[in-house]
Each structure stands twice: as C-alpha cells, then as structure tokens.
Structure 1
Amino acid sequence: MSSSQPAFVPPLDYSDEGPGMIISCGILAFIATVLVVLRFWARRLTRSGLGLDDYLTLSALIAHHGLLGVSIAEVIIGGLGRDIRITSTEDPNSVTFLFKGLLTSEILYGLDSTLIKLAVLALYWRIFPTRSMKIGCTILGSVCIAWTVAIEIVNVVQCRPLHAFWDLELQALPTTKCLDPILFFLGNSIANCVVDFATLTLPIREVLRLQMSRPRKLGICAVFLLGGIAFGASLTRTITTAIMHNQGVTNFTKQFVPSGVTTVIEIYAAISGACLPTLVPVYRKLRHGSVLGSTAGSGPGLTPPGVTNTISKMSNRRKIGTTEEGSFERLSNEESFALTAYHGSQQVNISGLKNGRLTHENTTDTTPHGIMVNQEMTWIENTSSRG
C-alpha cells in the first residue's frame, strides 16, 4: 500500500521496534484498567449507583483492549516495527495480515474513541448540570456520533472491492478504486484533534465559576486537563502522519510505528483522565480510612445510599447563591471540591404565635402575633436520571 511515490529507497533497517511498542502499550493498558477498577470501587464506597459515564468508560476500555490485541498481533505476525522488505521476505503473508489488522484497528478505534469521549461528556453532564454545559455536551456528543458513523462508513468503502485494502496486487489493477490511506488517516486525525480539544476545554468555564479559592480552582482544572495527554497523543499522531505523507511511503511497517503507538496511547490516556476526577472517595479511603475525609467524625457507613457524599461534613456547606443555571457553594477550609450534583430547596412557614404557642386555628383575632421562619436545605443527587 502506498500513498505517494517515494523519491528514493532507503537502505535496509534491521532494527526491531516491536518489543518496545508492546511493553509501553501494555503498561498503559494496565494503568487504565486499574483506574477503571478504582472508579467502580469509588462508586461502591459512596453507595452510588453506576451511571452512564461508568458504563461508557468500561465499554471503551474493553473495545480498546481489543484494539491492543490486534496491534500486538500486527507486531508479532505482521512485522510492524521491522523493515517491510525483511518481513515480507521471511513471510510473504505478513503484509496481508498487517493490513487486515490495520483495517480492524481502524474500525475499533472509531468505536472506542467515541465511547470515551461520550463517557467524558456524560461525566460533565452529571457534575455540572447547568444549561450551558448541557448544550455543550449535546453538541459535542452529536458531533462525536456523526464522526463515528462517517468514519466507519469510509472504513468499509475505502477500497472497492474491500479486500483490495490488504491485497496489494489487486490494488494495482485499473478496475480497483481505493482512497489514499495516509490522507484518510490524516483527515481522521485532524478531525479527532479538534473534537478532543473542545471536549478538554469544555468544563473550564464551569470550574472557574465555582465559589472557592483560586488555588483550588487551578487544582480542579489541572485534574480535568490531565486528559490533555490524550489530546497530545492525538496531535502527535496527526503530525507524524502528515510527515509520512510528505515523505512518501517507503517503509510502511517502520514509518507507521509513531502513528500506531500514539493511537493506542491516546485512548488509554483518555480513559485514565476520565477516571481521575471520580477517585476522590478512593483517595480519602486510602489516606483517612473514610470517604468523608479526615475531618469527618463518622465512617463511610453513614453515607446515605444513592448519594455521592464526598465533601467532608454535609452540615458545613453554606449555600451562597442560586441562578437558573445551577447552584454554587462556598467550602470551608477543611473541605474540598466534590463531583456531586445537588439541588437546593427552601421552605418558609409563616404562622401566628399566640401565648407562646403556635396555632393554625381560625380566630376572630386576625392580628399576627409573630413570625416563625423554618428553613430547610436538602441536597440530593438523582443518580438514576443523571447517571
């Protein structure tokens, strides 16, 4: 498979980058798996039901493990990481297997890339239930789904007939029509970078509106921006693919290594970044022995079922304002940011007070003798609707 005609043929390269690819991607796969397990443990610690973002993250992890398995097979059987002239001489079928695996990887990537983006958007929807955030999540979610549909369609029609994608001899026939694969990879990567950047920066405005100190705001932003590692990997893949296109394909199994590795890194980094903001209960459990934090006087067993109680003592919250886009709160010095959706409700009762006793009876005396105001704040997370 070739994109453009090379100006020269490089000498044989006897190095093998395959083992390094497998080890580095395997480490990232292990880290991402551990973080997803901890995410589900955090849900159990807070007695919260699993939400849509949890299921989407797990689905993305499973799909990307499948892509990793295909990539490892491409290294071992397809010769990815070695000179294509050497691998094709040792096994003429290696190139065919390589491009079959590449097509499978493209299909899996289109799936797991969108799953993890939707998982992140679902997380934003749950912890920032404001009108502007919901609009942003809806727009980006629609773009992600449309991008996936378009990419998957192109994946299965990029060559006519399709098996010409891995049959290089068939590609040479004048009746065969194929898209330029490198240009397709490049366009796919550019579009993915744009969506990644928009998803990454979406919660910053909401975080800056929180009523807390600037250092805490910066800390929260830093947690969300850890997903920037995935954006960095996506941007790197775009640059390396553009370089490969400009240089011409002279040794695909060597030239495609940076793009292949960053593809695996991108999704595992995105999964890890999506899990980190949810691990506050795990951190408190491991450090303080309680999901309520070091200032809590009781253990995690007192957390009401179905409520994500991750902000120290609930009684220390003081509501300072409410707008039509949501409520905000100021935290005491012992409290920290919690990813918990909440609603405020206030009840005011005005009754007559006669002879020191509260009465609701109809009397001829219509003069009010006193006013009693009873305020009650209720903080609720509806996990069934926001999940």
Structure 2
Amino acid sequence: MATANIYESRQGEYRAGTISMTVLGVVFVILRFLARWKKGLRIGADDYVILLSLYFLFATCGINLAMIHFGMGRHADVLPEGNIVIIAKLLMSFECVYCMTVGIIKISILLMYARIFPTRGFRIAAIILGSIVIGWVVAIICVSVFQCTPLAKAWNPTLSGTCINLKGSFIGNAVPNILTDIAILALPVHVVWGLHATVTHRLSVIAVFLLGSFVVFTSAYRFSTLFEFQPIDTPWTLAKACTWCLIECSSGIISACMPTLRPLFVMLSSKFASSISTSTRTTGVRGSGLKSYDVSNSALRPPGEVMGKQIVQLEVSQPDDASGDEVPLNTIRVQRDMRWQESSYDSGNG
C-alpha cells in the first residue's frame, strides 16, 4: 500500500488553497480602504500597517508556491535531491516571512484598538501585548535562521554538525502565537462591557470586535497539522502545515479588516432602506442642515386678508463627536437635536 501511494501528490489542492486565500485577503484589504474612502475617514497607522502585512502575505504566497513547484506536497522518495535542498532553503525563508506577516497583522489590530480606545490604561495594555508579539517574532526568526550549526546543515543534512529539534520548535512557536491571538481578541471586551449602554448594545459592539475570532481556529488547526511532520519526509508531511500558515495569515488580515467594514455595510443598508421608504416620506428632511417649506395656503385664507408667506425651517443637528468610524461606540451617546425656526412676512411688503 505504501508503495502504491508513494507517487501521491497534493500539490494541486495546496496550490489552489494558497492562491484563493491570498486573493481573499487582498479583497478584504481593498474593501477596508473603500469603506474609509466612502465615509471620508482618514487613513490611520493601523491601515498602513495592514497594507504592509499584505505585501508580506504576497511573499508568503510566493515562497509557498515555489516550494510546491519544487515538490512540496509530494513524497521525498520521488523527488530529485536538488529539489529537496531547494525546498529546505525556501522553508527557512518561509518561516521568517510567515512570522513577520503574523506579527505585523497583530500590531495592526493593536493600533486599531489604540485608536478606538485612546485611554492611558488601554494603550499601556496594547503596548505590552505589542512588545510580546515583537519579541515572539524576533525569537522565531533567530531560531529559524540559526537552527543548525553550521547554517548550511539546515538544507544539507550530510554535513557534520548539530540541529535543533525542528518539530519541537514548530510546536513551541505555535503556542504563544495562539495565546497572543486570544489575548488580543479579549483586550477590548472589558472596556466595552464597562460602557454606559444597554446589555444588547454592549454585546453588539463586542460582537464587532469578535468578528475575526475565526483566526484563532485557523491557528489551532495549523498547530494540529504540525504533529504530522516527520523530518525524513519533509515535503509530504510539512506541506499541509505550510499551506495552513498561509491560510492563517490571510485569515488574520480578514479578521483585522472585518470591524472596519461597518461603514460600508451601513452605507449599503441605508441606501437599500432609503429606496424602500422614499415613497412614504412626506417631510423631506434628511441629514443635517436647514430645510425650508412654503406653508401658505390661499384656500384657507380669510376673505380680504393680505396674502402672506410663512417660512418654516427644520434643523437636524448632530453632536460634534458623531463619527462614521467602524465601531459604533458613538451611537451609545449620540443624540439628535431638532429645532424649529419660523418667520413670516407680508408678500405685499416683500
């Protein structure tokens, strides 16, 4: 049975998963910037950082596709020795780029949190978590680069020297990765729960932040695939884990973008609702500003009375702190004030 399956290949499914998830990540970043442009919101530091993570996602995608091209997803026994060496070299680069991508995504999410919750305590918590993430990235890159002594033994096992337990290092770096994911997702929950609002509204805001929680499940599944790794057949046993590294990166970008898409969804739903209710509107009042209406009616004017006009102005205003940003925290405290202004004049004098 083993001999019959030695020529089995999963390159097609890994290639398709790599490309499709990369495209999906790009789509969500485009939607993120479209949402901010449509609402006239300024581009923040978190937006620039998520854009940087997209470039690293492209690099992760490119390296994984290159490894697949040279035989990742097939058994080592059917690959030329030169291909296995190339895969080992690419794998070292892949580990570094993957960690950089994940770290940048997490920093982007923390920057978004710091923008939404500009309190000193929250910023300190975000800085601490960000420092842990940066330390994790640096540590994993060092472990990946210096996994063997001499360095060349990482892709040429025939050389004399020593290497770390590669499977153990993969599992070891996955644990803090998952824990920081959970910590980052949980960070705003306590703050939101302390807001002066109804339980329903607080839960709805928390749900906005937890939209990206599925990245934890992708990280956990990638972690489970690492136990399949056997150094004697790296191209076959590590191929799934590498592809899921890419899926995790793309899922992280999607998770970071989901809360920022609220303005786009609100705008689309408002347009849909507006088209339905247009026929029932009678006041014509919409948005902020002054609207004027001529309420003179000659049919109701007593005989002999000089015709006049009355101008009724209805003003709808919003507080200065009203925001169109992604998280609806402002709706907890926003109030709308209406003021009637009336003036009349005699048409004979006008």
Same fold per superposition (TM over 0.5):
yes
After superposition, give the CA deviation of every residue in 1:23-60 in whole Å (9 maximum; x if it has no partner): 12222211111111111122222222211100110111
What corresponds to 1:333 in structure 2? none
After superposition, give the CA deviation of every residue in 1:7-36 in whole Å (9 maximum; x if it has no partner): xx9544332111111212222211111111
Secondary structure of 2:126 counterpart: helix
CA shift in 2, pair 1:54/1:184, >3 Å: same
The one-letter amino acid of 1:38's match is L
The one-letter amino acid of 1:85's match is D
In the alignment, the residues of structure 2 paired with residue 80 and residue 280 of structure 1 have an alpha-carbon distance, to the nearest angstrom, of 39
For 1:56-135, list aligned pairs within 5 A: 56-77=49-70, 79-87=71-79, 91-135=80-124
For structure 2, list consecutive stretches of 5 or more residues without a partner in the other structure.
Answer: 278-284, 289-314, 335-350
What corresponds to 2:141 in structure 1? 152
What corresponds to 2:177 in structure 1? 192
In the alignment, the residues of structure 2 paired with residue 146 and residue 60 of structure 1 have an alpha-carbon distance, to the nearest angstrom, of 18
CA shift in 2, pair 1:161/1:178, >3 Å: same
What corresponds to 1:264 in structure 2? 246
Would you say the 8 A contact 1:127–1:340 is kept in 2? no
In the alignment, the residues of structure 2 paired with residue 337 and residue 105 of structure 1 have an alpha-carbon distance, to the nearest angstrom, of 35
The one-letter amino acid of 2:263's match is P
In the alignment, the residues of structure 2 paired with residue 294 and residue 151 of structure 1 have an alpha-carbon distance, to the nearest angstrom, of 55
Would you say the 8 A contact 1:129–1:341 is kept in 2? no
For 1:1-387, list aligned pairs within 5 A: 11=3, 12-77=5-70, 79-87=71-79, 91-170=80-159, 173=160, 176-241=161-226, 243-244=227-228, 248-289=230-271, 297-298=286-287, 315=317, 338=328
Identity of aligned residues (%): 29
CA shift in 2, pair 1:140/1:343, >3 Å: farther
Would you say the 8 A contact 1:196–1:231 is kept in 2? yes
What corresponds to 2:346 in structure 1? none
What corresponds to 1:324 in structure 2? none
In the alignment, the residues of structure 1 paired with residue 204 and residue 8 of structure 2 have an alpha-carbon distance, to the nearest angstrom, of 43
The one-letter amino acid of 2:167's match is I
The one-letter amino acid of 1:52's match is A
In the alignment, the residues of structure 2 paired with residue 255 and residue 213 of structure 1 have an alpha-carbon distance, to the nearest angstrom, of 51
Secondary structure of 1:187 counterpart: helix
In the alignment, the residues of structure 2 paired with residue 181 and residue 293 of structure 1 have an alpha-carbon distance, to the nearest angstrom, of 60
What corresponds to 1:322 in structure 2? none
Tell me the C-alpha RMSD between the 2 structures.
3.3
Secondary structure of 1:227 counterpart: helix
The one-letter amino acid of 1:35's match is F
Q: Per-residue deviation at 1:343?
A: 11
The one-letter amino acid of 1:181's match is L
What corresponds to 1:302 in structure 2? none
Q: Per-residue deviation at 1:231?
A: 1.4
The one-letter amino acid of 1:83's match is H
In the alignment, the residues of structure 2 paired with residue 314 and residue 17 of structure 1 have an alpha-carbon distance, to the nearest angstrom, of 62
In the alignment, the residues of structure 2 paired with residue 131 and residue 283 of structure 1 have an alpha-carbon distance, to the nearest angstrom, of 31
The one-letter amino acid of 1:60's match is S
For structure 1, list consecutive stretches of 5 or more residues without a partner in the other structure.
Answer: 1-8, 300-312, 320-328, 330-335, 345-387
In the alignment, the residues of structure 1 paired with residue 86 and residue 73 of structure 2 have an alpha-carbon distance, to the nearest angstrom, of 14
Q: Per-residue deviation at 1:317?
A: 6.3
In the alignment, the residues of structure 2 paired with residue 36 and residue 339 of structure 1 have an alpha-carbon distance, to the nearest angstrom, of 23
Would you say the 8 A contact 2:150–2:162 is kept in 1? yes
CA shift in 2, pair 1:24/1:216, >3 Å: farther
Would you say the 8 A contact 2:197–2:332 is kept in 1? no
Would you say the 8 A contact 2:64–2:243 is kept in 1? no
The one-letter amino acid of 2:202's match is K
TM-score, normalised to structure 1's length? 0.69
The one-letter amino acid of 2:328's match is A
Q: Paired residues, what number?
A: 297
CA shift in 2, pair 1:314/1:212, >3 Å: farther
Where is the helix percentage greater, Structure 1 or Structure 2? 2
The one-letter amino acid of 1:127's match is I
Would you say the 8 A contact 2:148–2:163 is kept in 1? yes
The one-letter amino acid of 2:105's match is I
Q: Which moved more, 1:182-191 or 1:224-233?
A: 224-233
Q: Per-residue deviation at 1:161?
A: 1.9
What corresponds to 1:366 in structure 2? none
The one-letter amino acid of 1:238's match is F
